[in-house]
Amino acid sequence: MSRIRNAFSGKKAFIPFITCGDPDLSTTEEIVLAAAEAGADLIELGIPFSDPTAEGPVIMAADERALKNGVTTDQIFELVKRLRSRLDIPLVFMTYANVVYSYGSERFLENAAQAGIDGLILPDVPYEEKEEFHALCQQYELDLISMIAPTSENRIARIASEAEGFLYIVSSLGVTGMRADISTDIGSMVKLVRENTDIPCAVGFGISSPEQAAAMAEISDGAIVGSAIVSMIGTYGKDAAGPVSEFIRSLADAVHAVKG
Amino acid sequence: MTGNGRFGIHGGQYIPETLMNAVIELEEAYNRYKDDPVFNQELTELFNDYAGRPSRLYYAKRMTEDLGGAKIYFKREDLNHTGAHKINNVLGQALLAKKMGKTRLIAETGAGQHGVATATAAALFGMECVVFMGEEDTKRQALNVYRMKLLGADVVPVTTGTATLKDAVSQAMREWTARISDTHYCLGSVMGPHPFPTIVRDFQAVISKEIKEQMRQAEGKLPDAVIACVGGGSNAIGSFYHFINDLEVKLIGCEAAGRGIDTFETAATINTGRLGIFHGMKSYFCQDKYGQIAPVYSISAGLDYPGIGPEHAYLHDIGRAEYVAVTDEEAVNAFEYVARMEGIIVAIESAHALAYAMNYSKVLSADQCVVVTVSGRGDKDCASVARYRGEEIGE
């Protein structure tokens, strides 16, 4: 069983998202280690991009801070190597197509695999465009994680039947960011997925509280929290590891309390 | 073009899953209407009665005599209603959006010409309109901001990134993912995900269709060269399209070099960029070695974009069109020269094409002809050109 599948085995998974290099790489390292310790089952590591078109203001600002500090993809590979020597949980990159393509997709995936990355999420690569990345992901044994959105409808079956790792269910229309309510009928999206695949589904976009995370885990296999964590890192800066790990513990505990 | 909107290796649909059904729906609607006689009749009426087409092909006699080379013709897109070629695309897309049952148009704008055109079409069709414009550009083009508001549009200043055209595109895309069912994203150039590069090209292709007929009447032959400015590239592809198979017609796109292609203050994508994936398409982009999109610069807010439409990237790859770089200084000189010589104040974007044409025509002989597309009028640019020359004037 792949490390990613394992993260969902016998429990609901809690998945935090953290932008690498915000505010700097050593703080990211501390936060990721603390997150794992606090119960994160899988961690999404964001490689910052100058123009992240699927992100709301919180993650955009984090990307901007990280890039301003000069963080590069090569430095992030080094960070992952250090993390991998101390962590067993799956780590996946979340970034934009150009970060991978411009680096040289093959070289990127080779380096990512060597560093110990388990999967890749590219929010601007839909089903129609995935093959050029998927073939290389297969070669280097990374899962290319697919997303489905509230507008996917007739596309869900096709996407789900080829999904690998886990399926990222986008909870709401719009970009990433905290939302008071999630009104999408996620239960019926999960049901459609289930008719086509047995891979786990995790819900992300808009989740910011333990209650919301638990509610999403109730109707799927896990919950993803990004902006709420990144916003906290923005507030605490270099001192973020402590408060962020407490927050992550509350989210992870809430998700793990949901019966599998 | 091949499947999934590819031009050679360029193009494609690199967008969030949330938008995929929206672009698929758009493509289906476009395929349904593009050859529909009623749709085309309605569009032709809008082009002719509302936008003032066909636009004139004007022989720039004084300039030709002064420069002493090939005959120079201007394709006068500046004479269209709203003052630029942008209206061609916008009328097409707004009509299509209306047929699709959309009630709200959103758009990005750089110089403000596309925003004004979209606000105009929205007013005409009784649709809601929101225009995203980089905050930097709202300052450079304050008059156009006022025009959009006058036409009933909301103008949202975009403060992220470099606060220019690329950030306005990103923000319009974000807005579209948040509200799809009643909203059409009226993209202003031959860029973005398929089917936009094709749709926008088809609506702009009226430019080269008319040039061909008008040249036949004026000279009884095809032009030796067609020259147009290129940011995303919509007026250029419109000017080139019906000549692509006429291999004897040289096609020249003029990119904004800003302060020079050997500086970082440039927007010349083909001349300084490399392959990438951004804003829904694979094409050439100005970017650093890690793929971060470069903060480009040009005096022209309309050419101040770090990418180029995928069909241009393809025409470059196969050598069918040539893409040259023109600096701020050269463009401003041409802006002033054409005003004095022909009594026409052209858009600073178009001045890039005219600057190149001035040099290029000199190496041709008097029995040859070049057509330069004057993509827009230059009223909006007077303040920034004055500033460039060290003079402050009130807008």
Residue B109 CB-half CA count within 13 A: 36
Confidence band, pLDDT 50/70/90 cuts, at residue B29: very high
pTM above 0.90, yes or no: yes
β-pair partners for A223: A14, A203
- CA-CA distance, B197 to B15, in Å (whole number)? 14
Q: At the top level of CATH, which class does the domain B52-83+203-388 belong to?
A: alpha beta
State the greatest distance between any 2 C-alpha atoms of chain B, in Å, as a whole number. Answer: 56
Amino acid at A184: T
Q: Which residues of A touch B279 (CB under 8 A)?
A: 51, 53
- CA-CA distance, A115 to A102, in Å (whole number)? 19
Q: If you average pLDDT over residues A160-177, what whole number do you get?
A: 94
- CA-CA distance, B100 to B223, in Å (whole number)? 39
- CA-CA distance, B334 to B340, in Å (whole number)? 10
Q: If you average pLDDT over residues B18-34, what whole number do you get?
A: 97
A154 inside 8 A of chain B by CB:
yes
Q: Is residue A166 part of a domain?
A: no
pLDDT of residue A75: 98
Q: Is residue B299 over pLDDT 80?
A: yes
- Domain coordinates of chain B in residue numbers? 3-47+86-200, 52-83+203-388
Q: If you average pLDDT over residues B39-49, what whole number do you get?
A: 98
Q: Which residues of A touch B13 (CB under 8 A)?
A: 126, 128-129
- Percentage of chain B beyond pLDDT 70 is 99
Q: Look up the CATH number of the domain holding residue A231.
A: 3.20.20.70
CA proximity to B173, closest of A112, A52, A102 = A52
How is residue B101 annotated by DSSP?
A: T
CA proximity to A201, closest of A211, A214, A213, A189 = A189
Closest chain B residue to the Cα of A171, Cα to Cα: B18
Q: Is residue A180 over pLDDT 90?
A: no
Worst-scoring range by mean pLDDT, B77-81, B286-290, B377-381? Answer: B377-381
Average pLDDT of every residue of chain A = 96
A214 inside 8 A of chain B by CB:
no
CA angle B190, B191, B193 (to 5 degrees): 125
CB contact under 8 A, A129 and B170: no
CB pairs under 8 A between A and B: 126
Q: If you average pLDDT over residues B311-332, what whole number do you get?
A: 98
Q: Is residue A168 part of a domain?
A: no
Q: Higher pLDDT residue, B104 or A2? A: B104
Q: What are phi and psi of B191, to 5 degrees?
A: -140, -170
Q: What is the 3-state secondary structure (H, E, C) of B141-191?
A: CHHHHHHHHHCCCEEEEECCCCCCHHHHHHHHHHHHHHCCCCEEECCCCCC
Domain residue limits at A29 = 13-145+204-256
- CA-CA distance, B364 to B377, in Å (whole number)? 27
ipTM: 0.97
- CA-CA distance, B323 to B142, in Å (whole number)? 31
Amino acid at B155: V
CA proximity to B255, closest of B202, B300, B194 = B300
Amino acid at B76: R
Q: Is residue A57 part of a domain?
A: yes
CA angle B272, B162, B175 (to 5 degrees): 110
Q: Where are the alpha helices (DSSP H) in B14-134?
A: 17-33, 37-45, 61-67, 86-99, 113-125
Q: Is residue A28 part of a domain?
A: yes
Residues of B that are catalytic: 86, 108, 375
Q: If you average pLDDT over residues B371-391, what whole number do you get?
A: 94
Write out pLDDT tens, residues A91-122: 999 999 999 999 999 999 999 999 999 999 99
Q: Is residue A250 over pLDDT 80?
A: yes
In Å, how far is A117's CA from the nearest CA of chain B? 19
Q: Is residue B395 over pLDDT 70?
A: no
In Å, how far is B292's CA from the nearest CA of chain A? 5
Closest chain A residue to the Cα of B159, Cα to Cα: A57
CB contact under 8 A, A128 and B178: no
Q: Is residue B214 over pLDDT 80?
A: yes
Structural domains of chain A, count: 1
In Å, how far is A175's CA from the nearest CA of chain B? 6
Q: Is residue A192 part of a domain?
A: no
Q: What is the CATH number of domain B3-47+86-200?
A: 3.40.50.1100
Query: Which chain A residues in 37-96 lie under 8 Å from chain B, judged by CB atoms?
Result: 49-51, 53-54, 56-57, 60, 64, 67, 72-74, 96
Identify which of B12, B18, B22 has the shortest CB distance to residue A129: B12
In Å, how far is A13's CA from the nearest CA of chain B? 23
CB contact under 8 A, B177 and A125: no
